[in-house]
Chain A
Amino acid sequence: MIAAARKVCLMTAAAVLIAFGWTEKQAESGVLESPELGKAATMAAACGGCHGKGGDAIVGLDTRSADEIQSLLMAYKADAAGSSVMHRISRGYSEAQIRMIAAYLAAREGR
C-alpha cells in the first residue's frame, strides 16, 4: 500500500493520463480517482473508435495539441452548413465539454 502510494506520487499528471487507454503503456490510473477526469476519459473514449494512429482519410490525434483539437472541434461545431461526420458529431458537445476532451486527449499523449 505504501509502495503503491509512493509510486503514484512519483507519477506526473501526464503520466497518469497515459495510463488510461490507448497508448501501449500499462500503469495505474488517476481516471478512477476523480469524477471530472472520469467524465473526460469517457467522453474522449468516443474518439478512439476512429482516430487511432491516423490513416489516409482520418487524422491521428497523437500529434495535436489541446488548443489545436479544441479549435478544430469548435470550428466543426460552428459550421452550420458542414455535413461531414465530424460536423455532425461536434454539434453534440458544449464548449466546456470540448475543452475537457481536448485537454484529456492532449495530456493522454504525454505532453
Chain B
Amino acid sequence: MAARPDRRAVIAGLAALAAMPSFAAGNSARVVVVGGGYGGATAARFIKRLAPEVKVTLVEPNRTFTSCPLSNLVIVAARDLAAQRFGYQALAREGIDIVHDRATDVDAAARTVALAGGSTLRYDRLILSPGIDIDWSALEGYGSAAAEAMPHAWKAGEQTLLLRRQLEAMEDGGLVVISVPRAPFRCPPGPYERASLIAHYLRNRKPRAKLLVLDAKDDFSKQPLFQAEWAARYGGVLEWRGASDGGRVSRVDAGAMTLETDFERIRADVANVIPPQKAGEIAARAGVADSTGWCPVNAVAFESSLQPGIHVIGDATIAAPMPKSAFTANMQAKVCAVQVARLLRGMSPEPTVLVNTCYSYLDPDEAISISGVYSNEGGVLADVPGAGGVSPAAPNPRSRTSEAAEAFDWFRAITRETFG
C-alpha cells in the first residue's frame, strides 16, 4: 500500500535522528507563560514535555481555572459551576513552576516580567495568553459596578452564577435582554448559544417571558442555522434584532435597568450585557497590542509582530479567520510550544496546518458545530479552501443530539489535555 513507504520513512527518519547526539538547549533556557487558561496551560505543558531541560514558569493569579465553554449550560441550571473548574496540580507535578500572582508589566528589552507581589521573572521567550479584558470605556453607562446589576457573564465564575440567579428570580412574563457587541469578541457563536439556551429555559420554566437579543452586527456565526432552529423551536419567545433594525445598544443605565438603541429605550427585567472587549491588560503593558486593542502576530510561531521574543496566543491575538475560542487557544498553544522549543535550539519555526471546531447548544440535549482548517504559511492564517463549514441545515434526526454528545466529549478531552 502507498502508506507503507511514507510511514517507514517517518520512522526511519526518527531512528536516524535518535542516533544523533542531542543538542540540548542551554540549561538556563527560561520560558515564562502568562495566563493559565486553555492557551497558557497547554503551552506550558507542551514545552515542558518537548524540552524538559527548559525552566517553564506559569504565571496565573487564580488557583482554579473556570471554563467558559459549557458555562452557558450553568446559566440555565443544566450544569454545576463546579464541573467547570480545574486546578494546576498536574502541571506542577510535571515540573512547571506555578506562580499564583498577577503579571503587571513586561520589559521587552530586558526580557523581564514584573509581578504584583514585587518579584521579577527573567525569560528567554515569553508566551502571553492573557485572554480578554472587558473594555469598560467602550459602552456608555457600563462599568464594573453596572456589571453587578447587568452581568456580562463573559468571564465564567461569579458572573455566570449571578445571571443564573437573576433568571431564576425573574417573574414569569418578564423580559430578558442580551446585548451583543461588534466583532471581534471572545467566542463568536457564544451569544447565540446563550440565547438558544435561555429561550429553552424560558419556554419550559417561564412560558410568558420573552427574550430580546439586541445585536451591534447584522451577521453572526452559524446565523442561518441558528435562525432556522430558533424559528422552529422558540418562535414567540426569542426575537433577534440586528444593527440595521436598531439593534445596536449605545448606552445602558444599570439603575433603571434600561438599554438604549438609536431608536428606543428598553427596560429589561434581566439584562445580560456582553460588552466590547480587548486583549488582557498585560498585552498593552508589554507593547504587543496595537491600536485595535488586540495583538498582531506572525502565525508560524505566534511571535508578536511588535515585540520580538514575545509570543501571543489565544483570544488576545488577531488571528482571523481563526475565531477566539478555547479550541483555537489550545491549538495555537501546541503549535507555539513546538516552535518556541525549536527557536530555543537555534532552529527556524516551520509552518503547519491548524484546526478549530466550536459546538453550540440549541437546547441542553442538541447542538450544532462549525469547523475550520487553516494554513499559516508566511505567518498569515488563511482558510484552506474547500474545508470547514457548519452542521447541515436539514440533518438526519439524530445529528443534533450526536453533536451535543460530541460537544461533551470534546470538553472532557480538551480539559484533560490542558489541565488533567
Contacts and interface: CB of A to CB of B under 8 A. Distances in A.
A9 B14 CA distance: 11
B265 to A, nearest CB: 43
Interface stretch (B126-134, B277-285, B338-346): B338-346
Contacts, number: 206
B22 to A, nearest CB: 5
B1 A67 contact: yes
A22 B23 CA distance: 23
B405 interface: yes
Contact of B52 (A26, A45, A103): A26
Interface string A23-49: 000111111111111111111011011
Contacts of A56: 405, 408-409
Interface in B208-264: none
Given A29-B49, A50-B414, A85 B18 contact: no
Given A45-B334, A83-B392, A67 B417 contact: no
The majority secondary structure among interface residues of chain B is: helix
B3 A30 contact: no
15 contacts: A1-B22, A8-B21, A13-B11, A49-B417, A83-B399, A85-B371, A88-B373, A89-B387, A92-B355, A92-B387, A99-B7, A102-B3, A107-B7, A107-B11, A107-B14
B14 A13 contact: yes
* Smallest CB-CB A-B distances: 9 pairs: A92-B373, A92-B387, A55-B409, A52-B413, A57-B405, A13-B14, A45-B334, A46-B355, A103-B7
A93 to B, nearest CB: 7
B406 A58 contact: yes
A88 B371 contact: yes
A95 B2 CA distance: 10
Question: By CB atoms of chain B within 10 A, which of A8, A31, A45, A96 has the most?
Answer: A45
A19 B49 contact: yes
B412 interface: yes
B6 A99 contact: yes
A38 B408 contact: no
B17 A52 contact: no
Contacts of B12: 13
Given A13-B14, A55-B413, A57-B402, A5 B21 contact: yes
A61 B23 CA distance: 31
B6 A96 contact: yes
Interface string A57-90: 1100000001100100000000000010100111
Contact residues on B (Cβ < 8 Å of other chain), bracket: 35 or more
B171 to A, nearest CB: 38
B373 A93 contact: yes
Contact of A42 (B1, B22, B335): B335
A34 B269 CA distance: 60
B10 A37 contact: yes
Contacts of A43: 352-353
A52 B405 CA distance: 15
A58 B409 contact: yes
Contacts of B18: 8-9, 11-13, 16, 30
B14 A22 contact: no
Contact of A30 (B14, B350, B371): B14
Nearest to B387: A92
A34 B14 contact: yes
A27 to B, nearest CB: 8
Contacts of A49: 327, 330-331, 355, 357, 410, 413-414, 417
Interface in B17-62: 17-24, 46, 48-52
Interface in B160-219: none
Nearest to A101: B353
Interface string B348-367: 00101111010000000000
B416 A91 contact: no
Contact of B22 (A5, A31, A50): A5
A31 B50 contact: yes
A1 B21 CA distance: 8
Contacts of B48: 26
A7 B350 CA distance: 27
B308 interface: no
B145 interface: no
B391 interface: yes
B67 interface: no
A33 B408 CA distance: 36
A66 B391 CA distance: 28
B19 to A, nearest CB: 6
Contacts of B19: 9
A55 B413 CA distance: 8
A29 B342 contact: no
